[in-house]
């Protein structure tokens, strides 16, 4: 038979088609950004919050162990007995240029290391994990309280640069989320408005194919509006910021996502009771209630979440606003509270092998949610991280939580299953997924 025999050519063509189909199926979970229309909506996607706030001596930014360290004898320190994290990252895959020494030791006497969010290689690794496990992307936290601090701002800008590059490389999405915690009206008007203008002027990230869009518009999130804990900024200023992001002739045209209290629709408990609050929400495009710590049992993670999401959705549908529920894997801030002279139980809200997270996700889906925000990707301080964390943390005066013997990538994997469930590939009423050996 000759090499150009029609039957052989047809057979090769068929084999090639089957190979392409197989590759397409294998990559489908992680390559949703290939379709241009899919880039224009948040629906059907799972995102995570990304703090990006960890710095270390030697990373060229702030100069200390920022967000690792805690108050100790009148100053900030990071050593056994002084820590602001409850989970320790698994750095077994990291290269030497990503590792930063600490005073902590493992049981065998070896030195424990941490990572820096300013290290481009580490942020790239995080985005590689997102793609590998099927997480669509992240909302990058932009903390308003540090916008007037030169070193902190240098760190945040470096992290943003890392995120921009890695999201494009790995075909993930990202968007800015301004956290208004610990500022006042004057600070917002001066620094938040200016920061948005500067970012857009220098190199507008919204024009990138990797920037999160919804209904065809770039998304900018504002977190911390409407809480009842006597914050230093007013609802009037929040409305001014929303209007700027939506209507300004140069910097507007955005879809605004608002991070609000869990009981926002009822305007009680953690939410302020003021008509202007709901007016602000109605002016936005997406509302996202903060659920972390609002419930802790498996029963509440199922039934309570279902009822709350269903109730919230009735409000948002009536007012033409989209909705993004927040779910979290567990909660613990033992070391952080201890550093401030307070007591808090280690493993305060247990993860229960992922069952707690899975029940929230399936309840939200059954109630009608079309997109989900997982808090958080890298939050070691309150132990809500889904990134790889170790089961063998340092020993000594500081106690650390573990994943209770589960693989260090367990919550990344489970987040990918949640994304599949949201897309309808896994039923929302099925038990907690089990991994193949």
Q: Give the whole-angstrom CA distance, residue 219 versus residue 205.
A: 11
Confidence at residue 223, expressed as pLDDT on a 0 to 100 scale: 98
At 30, the pLDDT band (50, 70, 90 cuts) reads very low
Provide the number of structural domains found in the chain: 1
Confidence at residue 12, expressed as pLDDT on a 0 to 100 scale: 41
Say if residue 35's pLDDT is above 90. Answer: no
At 13, the pLDDT band (50, 70, 90 cuts) reads very low
Is residue 1 in some structural domain? no
306-333 per-position pLDDT tens digit: 999 999 999 999 999 999 999 999 999 9
Is residue 272 in some structural domain? yes
Secondary structure of residue 106 in the 3-state scheme:
coil
Element (H, E) at 112: strand 111-114
Say if residue 235's pLDDT is above 60. Answer: yes
Average pLDDT over residues 159-166: 98
Residues 6+ apart with CB under 8 A from 87: 332, 380, 383, 385, 389, 393, 400, 401, 402
Is residue 18 in some structural domain? no
77-96 per-position pLDDT tens digit: 999 999 999 999 999 999 99
Is residue 30 in some structural domain? no
- The length of the chain is 437
Q: Give the whole-angstrom CA distance, residue 254 versus residue 242.
A: 9
What is the Cα 301 distance to its own chain's centre? 19
Say if residue 31's pLDDT is above 70. Answer: no
Parallel, antiparallel, or unpaired: how do β-strands 213-214 and 173-179 relate? Answer: unpaired
Is residue 201 in some structural domain? yes
Closest CA to 176 of 120, 218, 135: 218
* Least trusted range by pLDDT, from 27-36, 90-99, 115-124, 204-213: 27-36
The CATH code of the domain that includes 276 is 3.20.20.80
Closest CA to 324 of 377, 278, 372, 291: 372
Say if residue 120's pLDDT is above 80. Answer: yes
Confidence at residue 73, expressed as pLDDT on a 0 to 100 scale: 86
Closest CA to 70 of 335, 389, 383: 335
Say if residue 15's pLDDT is above 50. Answer: no
Q: Give the whole-angstrom CA distance, residue 413 versus residue 383.
A: 17
Average pLDDT over residues 419-432: 95
Helix axes 193-203 and 235-247, enclosed angle (nearest 10): 20
268-321 per-position pLDDT tens digit: 999 999 999 999 999 999 999 999 999 999 999 999 999 999 999 999 999 999
Confidence at residue 227, expressed as pLDDT on a 0 to 100 scale: 98
Confidence at residue 350, expressed as pLDDT on a 0 to 100 scale: 98
Is residue 428 in some structural domain? no
Confidence at residue 3, expressed as pLDDT on a 0 to 100 scale: 33
Average pLDDT over residues 347-370: 98
Q: Which two tokens mark 339?
A: 């550093």
Confidence at residue 19, expressed as pLDDT on a 0 to 100 scale: 37
What single DSSP character describes residue 401? B
Confidence at residue 38, expressed as pLDDT on a 0 to 100 scale: 82
Confidence at residue 436, expressed as pLDDT on a 0 to 100 scale: 83
* Least trusted range by pLDDT, from 1-5, 156-160, 273-277: 1-5
Closest CA to 364 of 413, 412, 410, 295: 295
* Least trusted range by pLDDT, from 10-14, 51-55, 125-129, 379-383: 10-14
At 401, the pLDDT band (50, 70, 90 cuts) reads very high
Q: Which two tokens mark 126?
A: 């995080």
Parallel, antiparallel, or unpaired: how do β-strands 111-114 and 100-105 relate? Answer: antiparallel
**Residue-range definition of the domain harbouring residue 325:** 36-422
Is residue 339 in some structural domain? yes
Is residue 14 in some structural domain? no
Q: Using only C-alpha atoms, what is the Rg of the chain?
A: 22
Q: What percent of the chain has pLDDT over 70?
A: 91
């Amino acid at each position: 038979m000759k090499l150009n025999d029609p039957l052989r050519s047809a057979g090769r063509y068929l084999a090639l088609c089957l190979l392409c189909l197989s590759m397409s199926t294998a990559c489908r979970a992680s390559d949703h950004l290939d379709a241009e229309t899919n880039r224009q909506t948040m629906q059907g996607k799972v995102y995570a919050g990304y703090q990006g706030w960890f710095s270390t001596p030697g990373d060229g930014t702030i100069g200390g162990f920022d967000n690792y360290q805690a108050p100790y004898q009148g100053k900030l320190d990071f050593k056994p007995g002084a820590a602001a994290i409850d989970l320790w990252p698994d750095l077994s895959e990291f290269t030497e240029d990503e590792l930063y020494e600490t005073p902590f030791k493992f049981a065998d006497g070896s030195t424990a290391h941490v990572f820096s969010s300013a290290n481009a290689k580490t942020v790239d690794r995080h985005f590689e994990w997102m793609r590998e496990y099927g997480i669509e992307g992240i909302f990058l936290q932009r903390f308003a309280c540090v916008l007037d601090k030169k070193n902190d701002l240098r760190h945040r800008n470096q992290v943003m640069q890392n995120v921009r590059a890695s999201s494009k490389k790995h075909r993930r999405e990202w968007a800015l989320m301004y956290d208004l915690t610990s500022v006042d009206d004057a600070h917002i008007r001066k620094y938040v408005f200016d920061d948005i203008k500067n970012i857009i002027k220098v190199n507008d990230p919204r024009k990138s194919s990797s920037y999160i869009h919804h209904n065809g518009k770039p998304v900018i999130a504002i977190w911390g509006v409407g809480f009842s804990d006597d914050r230093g900024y007013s609802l009037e200023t929040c409305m001014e910021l929303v209007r700027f992001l939506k209507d300004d002739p140069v910097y507007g045209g955005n879809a605004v996502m608002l991070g609000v209290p869990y009981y926002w629709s009822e305007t009680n408990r953690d939410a302020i009771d003021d008509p202007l609050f709901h007016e602000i929400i109605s002016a936005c495009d997406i509302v996202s209630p903060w659920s972390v710590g609002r419930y802790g049992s498996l029963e509440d993670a199922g039934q309570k979440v279902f009822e709350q999401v269903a109730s919230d959705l009735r409000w948002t549908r009536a007012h033409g606003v989209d909705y993004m529920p927040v779910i979290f894997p567990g909660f613990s801030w033992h070391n952080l509270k201890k550093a401030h002279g307070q007591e808090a139980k280690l493993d305060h809200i247990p993860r229960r092998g992922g069952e707690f997270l899975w029940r929230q996700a399936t309840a939200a889906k059954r109630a009608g949610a079309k997109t989900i925000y997982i808090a958080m990707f890298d939050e070691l301080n309150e132990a809500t991280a889904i990134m790889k964390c170790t089961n063998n943390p340092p020993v000594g005066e500081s106690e650390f939580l573990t994943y209770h013997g589960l693989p260090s990538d367990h919550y990344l994997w489970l987040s990918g299953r949640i994304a599949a469930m949201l897309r309808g590939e896994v039923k929302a009423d099925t038990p907690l997924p089990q991994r193949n050996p």
